[in-house]
Structure formats: C-alpha cells, structure tokens
Amino acid sequence: MSDLLVSKGTTKKFGTKVALNSFDLNIPEGSIYGLLGPNGAGKTTFLRIINQITAADKGEITIQGKPLDKSIIPLVGYMPEERGLYNNMKIGEQALYFAKLKGLTTAEAHKRSKYWFEKLGIQEWWNKKLSELSKGMGQKVQFVITVLHEPKLLIFDEPFSGFDPVNAKLIANEIIELSKKGATIIFSTHRMESVEEMCDHIALINQSNKILDGEINQIRHQFKSGKYFVEIDQATKDGWSEFNSNFEVETISETENSLSFNIRKPDDMNSNQLLSRITSLGHITQFRENIPSMNEVFIRAVSSNEYQSPTN
C-alpha cells in the first residue's frame, strides 16, 4: 500500500513555543488514521499545516508525492473542530459556494449537494439559515460541505462534537463508507471508543512530539501487561489459598460454585503452563489474555512516554 500523505521533519513554532517538533508521519492510502493526543499536543497545528492555513517553519509535507501548494486544495476536505460556516447565509447556497471553491461546476455542485442533503435527511434545510439550526444540525451541514467534492484526503477534527449518539453513529458510518470507496481519512478525536471502532492506524502526539504510531492492533498488543481473565465453573476451594499465594491474582467475582479473576502470568511461565496450573481449581469456562483498550494505551503512553515508535 502506497502512502497518500508523508510528513518529514515538520516543525512549527509560535514565538518560543514549539507546537510541532520534527514530526514524521506516513499515512497509507485508503486508511482511517487516528491522530491522537492531549489538548495542546500539536494535532490541530499539523492539520492546519496540511490545509495550508499556516505554514511549517521546517520540514515537508507531500500529498500523492506533491508538495503543498494551491493545486493540492481540491484533494483535501477539512472539517475543523471550530466550524467555519456563515450564520446568515442559506444552507443550500453555502453548499454550492464551497463546492465551487473546490473546483466543481455549478451543475455538479448542485447535483452532489442534493444527493448528500437527501442521504442525511436534511433536504428541508436547504433554504434555512445556519442561525436557525441547532449545533448538531449545523454539524451535518459542515460534514456535507467537507465531503461533497469527493476529495482524496478527508480530515475530521473532533467530528462528533455536538452530535447525539444516533447522529454520531450515522456520521461514523458515513466516514467508514467513504473510506471503503477509496478516501483516505485523518481522524482526530478524544473518543477512544471511536478510535477502536474506526481506525486501522494511529499516531499519538504529546507535547509537540510523536511518541508512537503504527497499526492499532499491533500497538494494543505492544502494551500488553501479561494479565489474563479467567472464569471457572464448579470451582473448588481446595488449593485456592496456595494458588492465590503463588500468583498475582485479582478476584472479580465469587459465588458458591463459580469464580472469575484476573491473573498476571509470571515471566518464567508460558500461557499453556499457566492454564495447566489453573485447571486444578475447577472447570475453566473462559481463559483469555487482557489486551488493553486504546483508552488505556493513551493514558499509559502520555503519562510515561514508555513506548517509542520504531520510526522515531
């Protein structure tokens, strides 16, 4: 798979503050790439550089092998966290206006706008002003304006902000569908459950530096702590005290006939050996390794910077 976007040594300062420090990133074509980090880490600065809203002080970003210039603008759709629509302009007129700015003819802009308005069930808003809509309604309009020129690269900065759960799911499904049709997605959010559901790659920025990147499943496995979840039916108390004293065990629930707990595998024991030891306690109904969630990875990596990407 080739890379649609490549960042090499991208650096940006605002006065004495370093917003982005020698930032390297390769975003594969067709991927949904999560750009993660705490507030103020440098994510939005990077997105603004891609969109040529601000310029890097050092380094280079290319899209389809081309450096950033005016010719790149039609290739990119950007939905910023701070939305950029006109309050007193009719919604339909705004859709046509922004589509033509991206190079569409009036006829094509009208055709695609109508398609998206109907698809999201907002056609009755065509002649309304943005000031007449709720924040969530305005979000849908911003989404349409971002995608209707069918860019190669779509950038969503906190796209679910202001949405109720039903509409957040609707927009998430549309983003996934756009990816399936060939768009490359950069997706910045604090919602780690959305990252796990949607992204195949992630990069984590902290204090202007990239501290990890890669395929999401590989990163989650690299943060494993050697813990296993165990559930036992027809549990016996015989030998439990001795077993508990020899292993690091955290009991989750216990009844007269069943037991569930987390256990840490000793370094000198493999999983099969651990499983063999547990069988003495009763009939095992579940035995699985605990793979950390992206929320756990995020907290651990930001707190300690314990993992450095091999690309650094």
How confident is the model at residue 310, as a pLDDT?
41
Residue 237 confidence (pLDDT) above 70: no
Closest Cα to residue 249, out of 257, 285, 232, 291?
232
Q: What is the radius of gyration, based on Cα positions, of the chain?
A: 24
How confident is the model at residue 154, as a pLDDT?
97
Q: Sorting pLDDT into bands at 50, 70 and 90, what band is 312?
A: very low
Residue 311 confidence (pLDDT) above 60: no
How confident is the model at residue 235, as a pLDDT?
65
How confident is the model at residue 45, as a pLDDT?
94
Residue 133 confidence (pLDDT) above 90: no
Averaged over 222-230, what is the pLDDT? 90
Residue 17 confidence (pLDDT) above 50: yes
Q: Sorting pLDDT into bands at 50, 70 and 90, what band is 10?
A: very high
How confident is the model at residue 85, as a pLDDT?
87
Output 155 or 83, whichever has higher pLDDT: 155
How confident is the model at residue 161, as a pLDDT?
83
Which range has the worst mean pLDDT, 47-61, 109-123, 132-146?
132-146
Output 277 or 154, whichever has higher pLDDT: 154
Residue 35 confidence (pLDDT) above 90: yes
Closest Cα to residue 153, out of 35, 310, 19, 8?
35
Average pLDDT over the chain reads: 89
Averaged over 19-44, what is the pLDDT? 94
How confident is the model at residue 99, as a pLDDT?
93
Residue 307 confidence (pLDDT) above 50: no
Which range has the worst mean pLDDT, 211-220, 228-237, 263-272?
228-237
Residue 308 confidence (pLDDT) above 60: no
- Which domains, from first to last, does the chain contain? 3-221 (3.40.50.300), 226-289 (3.30.70.3100)
How confident is the model at residue 44, as a pLDDT?
92
How confident is the model at residue 259, as a pLDDT?
84
Cα 213 to the center of its chain, rounded Å: 12
Q: How far is it, in rounded angstroms, from Cα 124 to Cα 221?
A: 47
What is the pTM for the complete model shown? 0.84
How confident is the model at residue 30, as a pLDDT?
94
Averaged over 2-28, what is the pLDDT? 95
How confident is the model at residue 50, as a pLDDT?
96
Q: How far is it, in rounded angstroms, from Cα 124 to Cα 90?
A: 12
How confident is the model at residue 163, as a pLDDT?
86
